[in-house]
């Protein structure tokens, strides 16, 4: 079995990509309230700061900052993924391996994690999170995607409401 090496730095900031197993599913946006409730419940038991988050139909990207002295993002993802899946009706077909592991067959087992290195890296990943619906051609303007922390960032004055990620070259991102 492969052993994945993860950078575990207490109090650090991380970028994540988490995917559904079925990449053609719209499960995340269909059940956005359940996902939000699950994240809120996780925050209560295992606090972290949400720097940026976007939820698309079949995957999500986020940037989190963990509390000082805490590097356990894996526990938080386990709680979120399990809590979300547990409250959904069991309609998926399971493989023998999934059944043996007690899995639901909703999430990909792994996720992408990146330790943020500096302010430039942070800005790049936060922008990437907010641009993602436009990148996937779900909207023409970033502000038009409802499942994003972009709206909170606009209220905080971090972005203008009409920011769409034009890279200055005149080409669409």
Count CA within 13 A, CB hemisphere, residue 104: 16
User: Within 10 A of 158 (CB to CB), how many other CB atoms are there?
Assistant: 14
Tokens of 33: 């309230």
Query: Count of residues for the chain?
Result: 173
To the query of whether residue 159 is one of the catalytic residues in this protein, the response is no
Q: Of 14, 128, 147, 159, which residue is the catalytic one?
A: 147
The rounded distance, in Å, linking the Cα atoms of 10 and 21 is 29
Region for residue 64 given its phi and psi (left: phi exceeds 0; alpha: psi -120 to 50; beta: otherwise): beta
| Residues tagged active-site | 147
């Amino acid at each position: 079995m492969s052993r994945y090496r993860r950078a575990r730095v207490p109090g650090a900031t991380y970028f994540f990509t988490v995917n559904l197993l079925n990449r053609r599913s719209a499960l995340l946006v269909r059940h956005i309230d359940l996902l939000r409730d699950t994240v809120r419940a996780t925050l209560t038991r295992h606090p972290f700061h949400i720097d940026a988050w976007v939820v698309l139909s079949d995957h999500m990207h986020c940037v989190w900052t963990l509390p000082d002295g805490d590097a356990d993002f894996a526990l938080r993802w386990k709680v979120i993924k399990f809590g979300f899946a547990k409250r959904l009706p069991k309609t998926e077909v399971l493989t023998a391996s999934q059944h043996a592991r007690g899995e639901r067959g909703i999430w990909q087992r792994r996720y992408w994690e990146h330790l943020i290195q500096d302010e430039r890296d942070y800005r790049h990943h936060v922008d990437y999170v907010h641009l993602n619906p436009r990148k996937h051609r779900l909207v023409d303007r970033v502000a038009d995607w409802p499942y994003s922390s972009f709206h909170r960032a606009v209220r905080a004055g971090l972005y203008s409401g009409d920011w769409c990620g034009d890279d200055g070259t005149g080409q669409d991102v």
